Amino acid sequence: MRKNVKLLLVILTIGVLAACGSGTAEGDEEKTTINVGTSPGPYSELFIDAIQPILEDEGYTIEVQSFQELLQADVALYEGSIDVNVDQHTAYFENFNEEQGADLTKITPIPTVPTGIYPGRKDSLEDLEAGDLVAIPNDPSNAARAYAILQKAGLITLAEDVELVKVTEADIVENVEDIEIQEMDSAQIPRALEDIDYGVIPGSIVYSSGLDASTSLLQEDILKDLELVVVVNKEDEDSNWAQVIKAAYESDAFKEYMEEYNEDDYWFIPEEIR
């Protein structure tokens, strides 16, 4: 009797372990649907037009969830309701991580539209005079790149020891040309060009506002932390689906797409995916 009871317990234990093992295997089945959080701008559109077909050829289903603001997309990514976002640079998601206690990470850099100085009431930087009004974005990361491009243009001088991705107005040590710098919402700058002399406008805003990128008077030298990147949760960075996205941006098919559609070098293409 006791032997039979022991045998029954062993059989039950094996059954439970087998069931647990079966559940684990089922939970680890390869993910075939990727939920992409998109934001208005060229980067999500590039993903949908050029990367999504590559992923679908690999057997993946792409679901798109749209957000009006990038912050909303990052919250959704952090909470797990989406899998990936392609509308931000390293400086942005690292700031989000710091403020939210999140653990977002990048898996590859992607093509980026540079910030540029655009003509307003004046058509050339050679026409610049003391007192001219220059509008720049007021969000920290884009303001920093604006100050960097103003230094590149020779209009201001920044402190030598400052990190360019963290520059603020306080880091200006000399206003060389005595210009007036006004920070404003970057989306408003294209609409204000008739009332300002020059505007520093991020590439995504150039795209969404319909500005002609070829009219840029000067483009930024894109810092590594300001290249756009594919962003996922840290726990997903080595997953098969995340690596397939990375491979898609590195693929010959994507290179051919960019060669065909990158007119006038509108896109800066990071070295890793050239």
- Are 52 and 176 found together in one domain? no
User: With 90 as the cut, is the pLDDT of residue 19 above it?
Assistant: no
Q: How many domains does the chain have?
A: 2
pLDDT value of position 29: 59
- Are 137 and 216 found together in one domain? yes
- Are 52 and 141 found together in one domain? no
Task: Round the CA-based radius of gyration of the chain to a whole number and report it.
Answer: 24
CATH number for the domain spanning 168: value is: 3.40.190.10
User: With 60 as the cut, is the pLDDT of residue 32 above it?
Assistant: yes
Tell me the pLDDT tens digit for each residue of 114-173. Answer: 999 999 999 999 999 999 999 999 988 899 999 999 999 999 999 999 999 999 999 999
Q: Which domain holds residue 156?
A: 116-223
Question: Is residue 192 domain-resident?
Answer: yes
Question: Is residue 164 domain-resident?
Answer: yes
User: With 50 as the cut, is the pLDDT of residue 12 above it?
Assistant: no
Q: Which two tokens stand for residue 91?
A: 């400086």
- Are 199 and 157 found together in one domain? yes
Task: Report the residue count for the chain.
Answer: 274
- Are 124 and 199 found together in one domain? yes
- Are 138 and 261 found together in one domain? no
- Are 96 and 120 found together in one domain? no
Question: Is residue 75 domain-resident?
Answer: yes
Q: Which residues contact 242 (CB under 8 A, 6 or more apart)?
A: 84, 107, 230, 232, 236
Choose one of 198, 223, 248: the last residue of a domain. Answer: 223
- Are 138 and 266 found together in one domain? no
Question: Is residue 5 domain-resident?
Answer: no
- Are 97 and 121 found together in one domain? no
- Are 243 and 218 found together in one domain? no
The larger pLDDT score, comparing residue 157 to residue 24, is at 157
- Are 75 and 146 found together in one domain? no
User: With 60 as the cut, is the pLDDT of residue 6 above it?
Assistant: no
Longest dimension (CA), the chain: 102
Tell me the pLDDT tens digit for each residue of 84-117. Answer: 999 999 989 998 999 999 999 999 999 999 999 9
* CA–CA dist 92, 77 (Å, integer): 14
Is residue 147 within 8 Å of 140, Cβ to Cβ? no
What's this model's pTM, rounded to 2 decimal places?
A: 0.81
pLDDT value of position 208: 86
Query: What percent of the chain has pLDDT above 70?
Result: 89
